[in-house]
Structure 1
Amino acid sequence: MPMGLRDKRNSKVPRRTVDLQEFAIDLGEIFGDQDLTVHLFGSRKDQTGSIRSDIDLLVELPRRASQAEMDAIWNLEPYLDVFELDNGRARSLVNESELRADTNDDLVAKLGAVCLMQDGDWRTDANVFRQQTVLAERNPAATLVPLYELEDAVPAERADLLVVTALTEEYDAVLTALDMETTEPSLLTVLLDDKGSPWKMRVLNLHEMGSVGAALKTADAMRRSKPSHVVLVGICGGIPGRSNLLDVVIPQSVIYYEPGKTTPDGVKSGHASHQCDTDARNRISVLAKNLDGLSILADGELMACGEKVIADGSGRDALVDIHRKLAAIDMESYGVIRAAETRKTPATVIKSVCDLADADKSDDLHNRAREAAARVFVEAVRAGVFRAEK
């Protein structure tokens, strides 16, 4: 199976060309330095054939870049992934992570970087790297999130999508829907969408419930894989009258109901609301009309998230007062959404109702609910739901 970040075969995938000589000159103008030296490293330097990966540049700059300069680079070309290089330190313009060596030359050698422009002059031997092909239909993963630490994460770990599951049973359901199997806690695989574009996915088993662990493990996986979208797939509890058993809920927002203040008059709620990706949810809402045998709620429903399994009708009903569109309850969505927010990455929750969070709570429908959520996720990828088109 071909690597998801490569696409040498499919000529139908929309593309465009980036001219690195022009951009190197533009960088000089942005930084106010017409004698700029720029190096290329990473997969583009290695000429892997990638059209999705970012364009990693080292720019020799003896000062800190300003926020205005960083914004200008993003507006110039979102595929550019720029590190400012000075005194043997390469510092990310996105999250200030660093790579270090004794000198600039040592770090350039360590990364195997090639010089594109030296003291403001384009090198003729860099012409082989001048034209870079990128995808026209969406932004690169690397520019949407903080950069990975190059010492820890290699290009082989990068993925377009990070798919998070809380428990092994949910993990296995996703793997089955992808026609894959493994005994490892995570899997890297590829799925083609309806335009023939390959999506490289990292599927992760958290092995625990709760938002704290979900946030920590999701953040670590994002640092390593640099996804352009994070998707949480699994099961949840439902709210009678607002969702039914086996409904697949794609929430508009997640409400974390745990925060509060204890006073002599009781506990005052301080719940926090965090929004999921609107574009993906809207596309799934449209897709739902073509998926037989599935009931999908993707029209503004909300999901409550906390640190407890709720198996009591009164406890569930107390949450209903939070918002009239509350349709489901889970334990991981808040952590995953917060981790994605921290890295400025869109996130989507896909969870199927396995019980109604009351005294009749059982495991009877868990398998069918897991399968339903996994199927919706796979169909969403195939339909191109997670494209971040500009």
Structure 2
Amino acid sequence: MRNNGIISGGSGNRITVSGVAMGENTSVTGTPATGPDSRESTESAQAPPGPEPEAWDLGAVTVLSVETRALIDALSRRGTQRKTVTARRERFREFRWVDAGRPVRVAVTQSLHPGQLSAGSAVAALRAAYAPRFLALVGIAGAVHPDLHLGDVVVAQEIVHYEPRKVTPEGIRRRGRSHPVAAEVQHAVNDFFTEHDEPWRLPWAGEHRALRGLVGSGEAVLADTDAAERAYLRGYNEKVLAVETEGAGLAEAVYAGPAHDRAPEPWLLVRGMSDAAGPDKDDRHHAVAARNAAEVFCALLPHLL
């Protein structure tokens, strides 16, 4: 029988992830939904797996620790948390709760490094362990549109990968690629903004808003308002709202490697604005931007399920 996720937990049990048994060296941590100050207890995992695998709704990737903490805090207020460590020392946080009588399962992992390649590897790890129906990248980004403010949140409807290029004696010729979200994600986002208004003024941070639009993605961290990448994105589409460094890796990993003989999973990108991608870029607004992105992501979940 194929196992698409963690199928058994508790004291004295053995955990199997995607057909790979994790025995004595696997640790599991259980936490009730009591928020960021809750304590964790460690259990051993040794007994045979249970009869049926769990269905995992969504796998979320973060990049920075501040993003991971914000997402853990937001999800912990909605359900129970468990931490797992695989034989390869990969870390996952599992969250479970019931919404309108329906069980909800979300798994979270942090990529090893910033950047497109590491984001793609994190997607592969989530697929192998949980085979989620949806994949998401949640965290911070730089605002490049004048209508955006620090703390605002962008829900991507399309990622513009601006990195592909040809270097010639006459200069650089950019060959950008577009990655639109799947129709079912767009329907869910439409429903979300129909219910909350657009832009949505965040109830926990009244001066900040959530809106949707295009997001540029490349390897370089932009800290120059005159950067050629920004000019290219303006020429590509004047409605590009933000830039970041992992979204194209998520989209390409999903497109290139369908998991478990299934069609590619729908994906979602949610980014809080932590800076203006200019010379004054710093870390002062990381926590606020990460928190707003995590909360907007959680508010979107009922529309995706």
Tell me, yes or no, whether TM beats 0.5: yes
State whether structure 2 residue 232 is matched by structure 1 residue 312. Answer: no
- Specify whether residues 288 and 181 from structure 1 end up closer, same or farther in structure 2 by C-alpha distance, changes over 3 A only: farther
What amino acid maps onto 1:331 in structure 2?
T
- Contact kept, 8 Å, 1:161 with 1:231, in 2: the verdict is yes
CA distance in 1, matches of 2:150, 2:211: 12
CA distance in 2, matches of 1:296, 1:360: 23
CA distance in 2, matches of 1:152, 1:329: 40
State whether structure 2 residue 125 is matched by structure 1 residue 220. Answer: yes
- Contact kept, 8 Å, 1:257 with 1:269, in 2: the verdict is yes
State whether structure 2 residue 57 is matched by structure 1 residue 160. Answer: yes
CA distance in 1, matches of 2:248, 2:147: 20
State whether structure 2 residue 304 is matched by structure 1 residue 386. Answer: yes
Cα-to-partner distance string for 1:37-77 (whole Å, 9 max, x where unaligned)? xxxx468xxxx9xxxxxxxxxxxxxxxxxxxxxxxxxxxxx
Aligned to 1:196: 101
Aligned to 1:346: 266
Higher CA-based Rg? 1
- Contact kept, 8 Å, 2:145 with 2:240, in 1: the verdict is no
What amino acid maps onto 2:220 in structure 1?
K
Aligned ranges 1:330-369 → 2 under 5 Å: 330-341=244-255, 342-343=257-258, 344-369=264-289
Match of 1:324 among 212, 233, 238: 238
**Larger % of helix: which?**
1
Per-residue deviation at 1:283?
A: 2.7
Match of 2:196 among 288, 303, 308: 288
State whether structure 2 residue 86 is matched by structure 1 residue 178. Answer: no
- Specify whether residues 261 and 283 from structure 1 end up closer, same or farther in structure 2 by C-alpha distance, changes over 3 A only: same
Match of 1:363, SS?
coil
- Specify whether residues 305 and 42 from structure 1 end up closer, same or farther in structure 2 by C-alpha distance, changes over 3 A only: closer
State whether structure 2 residue 154 is matched by structure 1 residue 249. Answer: yes
CA distance in 2, matches of 1:166, 1:220: 14
Match of 2:156, SS?
coil
- Specify whether residues 174 and 215 from structure 1 end up closer, same or farther in structure 2 by C-alpha distance, changes over 3 A only: same
Aligned to 1:261: 166
Unaligned runs of 5+ in 2: 9-16, 23-48, 86-90, 259-263
- Contact kept, 8 Å, 1:259 with 1:270, in 2: the verdict is yes
- Contact kept, 8 Å, 1:254 with 1:334, in 2: the verdict is yes
CA distance in 2, matches of 1:157, 1:196: 16
TM-score by length of 2: 0.71
Per-residue deviation at 1:198?
A: 1.8
Aligned to 1:13: none
CA distance in 2, matches of 1:317, 1:149: 41
What amino acid maps onto 2:59 in structure 1?
L
Match of 2:294, SS?
helix
CA distance in 1, matches of 2:234, 2:21: 44
Aligned to 1:37: none
- Contact kept, 8 Å, 1:242 with 1:325, in 2: the verdict is no
- Specify whether residues 242 and 272 from structure 1 end up closer, same or farther in structure 2 by C-alpha distance, changes over 3 A only: farther
Per-residue deviation at 1:263?
A: 1.4
What amino acid maps onto 1:358 in structure 2?
G
- Between the two proteins, the alignment pairs up a number of residues equal to 240
What amino acid maps onto 2:241 in structure 1?
A
Per-residue deviation at 1:324?
A: 1.4
What amino acid maps onto 2:156 in structure 1?
P
- Specify whether residues 151 and 257 from structure 1 end up closer, same or farther in structure 2 by C-alpha distance, changes over 3 A only: same
TM-score by length of 1: 0.57
Aligned to 2:291: 371
- Contact kept, 8 Å, 1:281 with 1:348, in 2: the verdict is no
Per-residue deviation at 1:379?
A: 1.6
- Specify whether residues 157 and 202 from structure 1 end up closer, same or farther in structure 2 by C-alpha distance, changes over 3 A only: farther
Superposed CA RMSD in Å reads: 2.6
- Contact kept, 8 Å, 2:222 with 2:277, in 1: the verdict is yes
Aligned to 1:131: none
Per-residue deviation at 1:240?
A: 3.5
Per-residue deviation at 1:286?
A: 2.5
Per-residue deviation at 1:170?
A: 0.4
Identity score, percent: 28
Unaligned runs of 5+ in 1: 1-40, 49-147
Match of 2:178, SS?
strand
